[in-house]
Structure 1
Amino acid sequence: MAPSNLNTPVPNIPYFTPQHLHSPGTPKDLSPKTPTLFTPLQIRNAVLRNRILVSPMCQYSCASSGPQIGALTDWHVATLGHYAIKGAGLVFVEATSVQPNGRISPNCPGLWNDAQIAGLKRVADFVKSQGALVGVQLAHAGRKSSTAAQWVSMVAGRKSKRADVDVGGWPEDVKGPSGGEDQAWDGPFDSERSRFWTPKALITQEVKEVVRDFASAAERSVRAGVDVIEIHAAHGYLLHQFLSPISNRRTDEYGGNFENRTRLLFEVIKAVRGVIPEGMPLFLRISSTEFLEDTDLGKEFGAWTVESTIEVAKQLPALGVDLLDVSSGGNHPSQRFDGTNTKGSHVKIAGQIRDALLADNLKLLIGVVGMITEAEQARNIVEQGGNIAQLENGIHEEAETAKELTDAKDGKQPAADVVLVARQFLREPEWVLKVASELGVDVWWPSQFLRVAAGGDAKLHRK
């Protein structure tokens, strides 16, 4: 519904920004022909205005020391805010560490102290003022921490580069499930070629502190006004390291069999769910497979597989997780396949996980990430049958009607319920509006852009 005053300010923020006449990225009319991609989705008390989410993307743009260490800045307001302006349903802040030594790089954000709340709140306030939801991905990089910003590595001709103390790194405080040279991500240390530091093993008490610090960071996220929290257990970072028998060689209650290797993940989920509001959605990103089972390492120690992920997924609804964000790989350079850089590689896996959950009558939303770049590709991932009544009373009622779309209609099952898009937003921040145009969906634009919206969206097709 349009505000009665056509220049109404968004309330409860310390500056003027007009409340949009209609939320950008939402259809002007919902009809039976509206693609599921542009229907709203309610998750607990949060309502996504469409099914297109901005995936967390490292920006390496926070201070590495001093009073502003790990705090979000105007860069994050400008970049993340722009995705919200252009219609994304949910905008995620990049991997945000729960401990200082859990940052991927010295310039990555954190939420290990209260001084970091204000920067996140400023981002959250602006993103939400544009009608989007805002999420934060809580993380710990484990043995993949203390690396340099990506462009520093690129200049050096590498995919990654160690960050030493001279640039704010912490080579003596890199921790993982297990320690020693063979547990460095890329193997025994070589001063010329190694991209990662040799980790030390977390003692049992330190593992328990990780759980505590995830919960504390979640509490700070709530205080900052975040709508959604995602726990990062993918891409070879700490929680993934504990899940995998390749990187977890522990002999205490956090290592060995499947139950022990998943213990930290489940403790973190319970701790986070226990401190956030009941109405706040909780997501989990996981590497659904490591693509290591056919390697020498996998044959010797075992590996994390799709079947492992399904076993975890079946336990998530009872723990209060609302959506499983499906990715892959990242735990060892020997992986046989790079799913994050191959178009459509996760869609089949996501569908397999979704089918296994449905077979057990379990309800868990599924998200897919990885090289989603095209309108029809995104549409087809979440498409399903069903009719949508036309409504005139706003996005919440639309979501109430549309929620049945998460169930199969006429025997037609989607692979996932939402898509998470990363690099394509770096190329085209207006990607939501472009996708709508290509799919023939007439969506609302930001109020400030309405004078060019009528007929002007054809410009989005230019290469």
Structure 2
Amino acid sequence: MSPAPDHPEVVNERVPGAPYFQPLVEPSVGTALSADDWPQNKDLPMLFQPLKVGPLTLKNRITVAPMCMYSAEQEGPETGVLTPFHLVHLGGFASRGAAVTMVEATSVLPNGRLSPNDSGLWNDRQMQALTPIMSYIATQGSIPAIQLGHGGRKTSTLAPWLDTSTIQPHLKSHVATNGAAGGWTDDVMAPSAIAYNDETFPHPREMTPNDIEELKEAFRAAVARADKAGAQVVELHCAHGYSMHNFLSRLSNQRTDKYGGSLENRMRLPLEILAIMRETLPKNKSLWMRISATDWWPEGEKDDKGEWISWGIEQSKVFVKEAIKLGVDLVDVSSGGNTPKQKISVGPGYQVPFAEQIRASLGDEEKIPISSVGLITNGPQAEEILQAGKADVVCAAREFLRNPSLVLDWAQELGVVVNVPVQYQRAYTRMMTKHDKREPVKLH
């Protein structure tokens, strides 16, 4: 009987430092493979080229937008605590190639939650639940991130599927009332005592100077917790009609102190908070910001006297430049959400022009990556946005909800070979077949 052949030792390697066994994937999922081995990856589309953002490098240009899930406990010791649902929900995006996976808008104070079932980071129990989620995202080779904010005058509202206009048409209310609904209508606060909608939203009280100082310290504490939990990116939410956007816009801010009136004053608190966040966050981690570039106010950004009357693109350009001075590494450009009278022209890529204008307004020494979002639904469309210089990064939300494998599908649409989860390789034999040239998949 002849001796057994001498086989080389082959080991199923694990991710270094992971708290449980996770097969090592190098390069990580969603990373374009070398053109030396995969000829079709020559002249790589921008969507799959790495990008440096502050101290970090994105493996591709596709990021997961923060998306509220309204799925945390509303009372008791688990209030605002993320659950296994959030781990599975976010982990699916991270394991399938997203460059950055961002946790939903997370409030720094109890009264900053949009609904009673939103995420929070004002105590250590919430940090403890966040930690394994951040760890899992990192083991998948995605950058773990979190968006921090305060909902301002749009807090103590119902989860969207509980809109009582479908249950009690005569009320048409979005309010989460005090009591069983878990609301805090007596503690909704905003720059000014102006409701988003008098009939259907809570009526806020005007924030006192002490409220403002408490909010700033709450952001400081939440950033420290996010850092300790493993976040590599922390983003300030300055969009969609929530607290920071409330301060920026004349529609929601009619204060007469140093936080209201002039553009300089209306920008003051968001900029103070950005400075606190940058000061608290280690230098090897990245500070981002999301803005609404416009209120979509029907009467425009200025009146016939040239006075600012709503938030718009020209003020956004100024605000972004001031934020860059404080160390913001990326700005994600969205729009709207601050008035029910907004008139939005919705269509494919409808918010991209705002990102393009802000990106074009930056001087050579100010340039940072600009991200765009809003009905970007396929790889060729995303690639065109980048190739045309309209944005540097594409941020997706609903498309990820519909398709957690979005990054892998967009790669196939563009004819790019990216690494896939080793556990799923058998499902990607078509993509991982060598060709002499890139052959994009035709879209129907």
- Common fold by TM > 0.5: yes
CA contact (8 A) 2:87 2:133 kept: yes
> How far apart, CA to CA, are the structure 1 residues paired with 2:182 and 2:325?
41
Aligned partners of 1:246 and 1:298 also within 8 Å:
no
Structure (1 or 2) with the larger CA radius of gyration: 2
Q: CA offset at residue 317 of structure 1? A: 2.2
2:91 is matched with 81
Distance 2:14 2:164 in 1: 44
| CA contact 1:237–1:331 (8 Å) conserved in 2 | yes
**Aligned AA (2:195):** A
Counterparts in 2 of 1:221 and 1:298: CA distance versus 1, 3 Å: farther
CA distance, structure 1, for counterparts of residue 442 and residue 140 of structure 2:
24
Matched, 1:161 2:174: yes
Say if 2:301 and 2:312, in contact at 8 Å, map to a contact too: no
Contact 2:165 2:173 in 1 (8 A): no
Q: Tell me the residue number matched to 1:435.
A: 410
Is contact 2:417–2:432 with CA below 8 Å preserved after alignment?
A: no
Aligned amino acid, residue 258 of structure 2: E
Residue 256 to residue 293, structure 1, CA distance change in 2 (3 Å): farther
Letter matched to residue 33 of structure 2: K
Gaps of 5+ in 2: 1-8, 36-40, 434-440
Q: Is the 8 A contact 2:417 2:431 kept in 1?
A: no
Corresponding residue number in structure 2 for 1:272: 277
The residue number in structure 2 matching 1:391 is none
- The correspondence for 1:302, drawn from 302, 309, 324, is 309
Distance 1:320 1:293 in 2: 33
The match for 1:48 among 43, 58, 80 is 58
Residue in 1 that maps onto 2:369: 365
- 1:100-154 Cα deviation digits (max 9, x unpaired): 0000101000101111111111111111111101110001000000111111127
* TM-score, L = length of structure 2: 0.89
Q: Which residue of 2 aligns with 1:375?
A: 379
Runs of 5+ unmatched residues, structure 1? 384-412
1:61-116 superposed Cα distances (whole Å, 9 cap, x missing partner): 11111111111110111010000111111011000000000001010001011111
Q: Name the residue aligned to 2:38.
A: none
Does structure 2 conserve the Cα–Cα contact (< 8 Å) formed by 1:293 and 1:304?
A: no
2:385 & 2:109 partners in 1: Cα distance?
36
Task: Measure the CA separation in 1 of the matches of 2:236 and 2:281.
Answer: 13
C-alpha separation in 1, matches of 2:355 and 2:252: 24
The Cα of 1:173 is off from its aligned counterpart by: 0.5
In structure 2, what is the equivalent of residue 445 of structure 1?
420
Corresponding residue number in structure 2 for 1:288: 293
Query: Which contiguous aligned blocks of 4+ residues in structure 1 show a shift greater than 3 angstroms?
Result: 157-160, 295-301, 460-463
Q: CA separation of 1:103/1:28 partners in 2, compared to 1, >3 Å: closer, same or farther?
A: same
Closer/same/farther in 2, CA of residues 461 and 104 from structure 1, 3 Å limit: farther
Deviation at 1:297, TM superposition (A): 10
Q: 1:242 aligns with which of 247, 270, 274?
A: 247
Matches within 5 A, 1:113-128: 113-128=123-138
1:42 to partner: Cα distance: 2.1
Instruction: Give CA deviations for 1:266-290 in whole Å, capped at 9, x if unaligned.
Output: 0000000000011211111001111
Matched residue of 2:265: which SS?
A: helix
Question: Equivalent residues in 2 for 1:183-332 (5 A)?
Answer: 183-187=194-198, 190=199, 194=200, 196-292=201-297, 294=299, 302-332=309-339
* Offset, 1:361: 3.8
Aligned to 2:5: none
Q: Which residue of 2 aligns with 1:173?
A: 187
- Give the Cα–Cα distance (whole angstroms) in 2 for the partners of residues 168 and 352 of structure 1: 42
Distance 1:298 1:134 in 2: 43
Is contact 2:301-2:311 (8 Å) kept? Answer: no
Structure 2 distance, partners of 1:355, 1:434, is: 30
Tell me which amino acid in the other structure corresponds to 1:450: Q
**Per the alignment, in what secondary structure is the counterpart of residue 420 of structure 1?**
strand
**Residues 1:130 and 2:140 aligned together:** yes
Aligned to 1:100: 110
Change (3 A) 1:423 1:353: same
Distance 1:154 1:24, change over 3 A: farther
Shift of 1:301: 6.6
1:374 partner amino acid: N
In structure 1, what is the equivalent of residue 70 of structure 2?
60
Matched residue count: 418
Give 1:43 deviation, angstroms.
Answer: 2.0
Q: CA deviation at 1:5?
A: 6.6
* Equivalent-residue separation in structure 2 for 1:136 and 1:293 (angstroms): 33
Q: Can you list the C-alpha shifts for 1:215-236, whole angstroms capped at 9, x where unaligned?
A: 1111100000011011000000
CA distance in 2, matches of 1:342, 1:176: 31
Q: Output the TM-score relative to the length of structure 1.
A: 0.86
| Other structure's SS at 2:132 match | helix
Q: Which residue of 2 aligns with 1:386?
A: none
Q: Within 2, Cα distance between the matches of 1:66 and 1:98?
A: 17
Separation of aligned partners in 2, 1:446 and 1:178: 50
Pick closer, same or farther for the CA change 1:438–1:264 going to 2, 3 Å: same
- Cα displacement (A) at 1:17: 1.6
- Native 8 Å contact 1:26 1:38 kept in 2: yes
Following superposition, the deviation at residue 6 of structure 1 comes to 4.2
Q: String of CA shifts for 1:339-393, please: whole Å, max 9, x gaps.
A: xx532122122111111103x642221000111111111111112xxxxxxxxxx
Structure 1 residues 162 and 6: alpha-carbon distance in aligned structure 2, compared to 1, 3 A threshold = farther
Partners of 1:292 and 1:437 lie apart in 2 by 40
Please say which of residues 349-358 and 157-166 is displaced more in the overlay: 157-166
> 286-295 or 90-99, which moves further after superposition?
286-295
